[in-house]
Homo-oligomer: A and B are copies of this chain.
């Protein structure tokens, strides 16, 4: 099948499939006489694997590792487990971080008068110079 069929079946844009080929994430398929890429059903499996892994937040390097395990019949499931639980920790950390940002934003929203006045607690907070402990002298007055 041609690349657009592979795209439909895998759920990845054709452009992305070519991109994965260009970075050697997905092996180059054989070509038809006219130069068109020809994909097999097994290629679709692999492309789906990549789409899913990306959807789960694995970056390209991690996808490469996962794909190596996927293709390796001698893999041990504990290796896969390790990769995925590391990613889980990563996502958890990200969620916590975002949660803190969320709370700070909520506090800002709550503090703002939300009226026609120029005075604004949000602006005041954003302009706060947390990093500045003292005023520095001009290098050359």
Give A residues with C-beta under 8 Å from B.
1-2, 5, 8-11, 32, 38, 41, 44-45, 48-49, 51-53, 55-57, 66, 69-70, 72-78, 80-81, 84-85, 87-88, 91-92, 94-95, 98-99, 101-102, 104-106, 108-109, 112-123, 125-132, 135-140
Contacts and interface: CB of A to CB of B under 8 A. Distances in A.
| Leading 5 A-B pairs by shortest Cβ distance | A11-B131, A77-B120, A81-B114, A88-B105, A81-B112
A112 B77 contact: yes
- Copies of this subunit: 2
B92 A95 contact: no
Given A44-B132, A70-B126, A127-B48, A116 B78 contact: yes
A110 B121 CA distance: 46
Given A1-B137, A75-B123, A88-B106, 18 more contacts: A1-B136, A10-B129, A11-B131, A48-B132, A49-B126, A52-B126, A52-B127, A56-B101, A56-B104, A57-B105, A66-B123, A69-B120, A77-B113, A80-B122, A81-B120, A95-B95, A95-B98, A95-B102
Nearest to A121: B77
Contacts of A95: 95, 98-99, 102
Nearest to A48: B129
Contacts of A80: 112, 120, 122-123
Contacts of A38: 138
